[in-house]
Amino acid sequence: EIVLTQSPATLSLSPGEGATLSCRASQNIYIHLAWYQQRPGQAPRLLIYDATNRATGVPARVSGSGSGTDFTLTIDSLEPEDFAVYYCQQRNSWPRTFGPGTKLEMK
Amino acid sequence: EVQLVESGGDLVQPGGSLRLSCEGSGFTFGAYGMSWVRQAPGKGLEWVSTLSGSGGGIHYSDSVQGRFIISRDNSKNTLYLEMNSLRVDDTAVYYCAKSPVVVGAPYFEYWGQGTLVTVSS
């Protein structure tokens, strides 16, 4: 089973600042990584797939990068609606696994 | 607009059974793989099971293998999860999620709002 590790666990930032979230895989997963956003009380929402591709409706200030074992989600100029929990997920093999999440909170 | 609506969540005793349903609309249901993903209270996301559009290509997590059965009725645009021998640690919100492809679930493109399953005596 591929284990995903996310850092930091919590990130405290102010609106207008930029955020960098990391996800590390326990083995090479090429570009087979997605990112999801989950706001309180809501279902997760797909943001990025195959490491760098934005899903439908995701703003351009959200971007993904990385390959192999190290991946990054970057959010430029944080808006109030960006404060949420972010999960990474791998599709390289079964079982599909998620990282433990990074909580992006407002400072 | 893609919509997924789960139902069937309830309070059930350990060892009991429950069947969840997920009705899809706004897309050709049988053309896409569908999955169940759960989230225990205050915890992260855990993939549970995936079923391809044609009804083949079934996958389960080790934690539910042998206890849960995923199925679908494409004529009713509905995905099911039959849950048996339920344990306290199965307590979670269960989401159904649509895949962007017919076989497997590379990613979870659209999600329902979830249904709560509570296993407790």
pLDDT, tens only, A26-80 = 999 999 999 999 999 999 999 999 999 999 999 999 999 999 999 999 999 999 9
Of B47, B100, B111, the CB nearest to A98: B47
Is B33 at the interface with chain A, CB within 8 A? Answer: no
- Average of per-residue pLDDT across A97-104: 98
Can you point out the beta strands (E) in chain A?
A: 4-7, 10-13, 19-25, 33-38, 45-49, 53-54, 62-67, 70-75, 85-90, 97-98, 102-106
Q: Is the pLDDT of residue B102 over 90?
A: no
Q: Which residue has the tokens 């679930």?
A: B105
User: Are B24 and B34 contacting, i.e. CB atoms less than 8 angstroms apart?
Assistant: yes
Phi and psi at residue B94, in whole multiples of 5°? -105, 120
Instruction: Please give the residue of chain A at the shortest CA–CA distance from B6.
Output: A43
Give residue B55's pLDDT: 76
pLDDT band at B18 (very low <50, low <70, confident <90, very high): very high
Q: Do B46 and A55 touch (CB under 8 A)?
A: no
pLDDT band at B103 (very low <50, low <70, confident <90, very high): confident
pLDDT band at B2 (very low <50, low <70, confident <90, very high): very high
Residue of B45, B94, B116 for testing the chain A interface, max A β-carbons within 10 Å:
B45
- pLDDT for position B46: 98
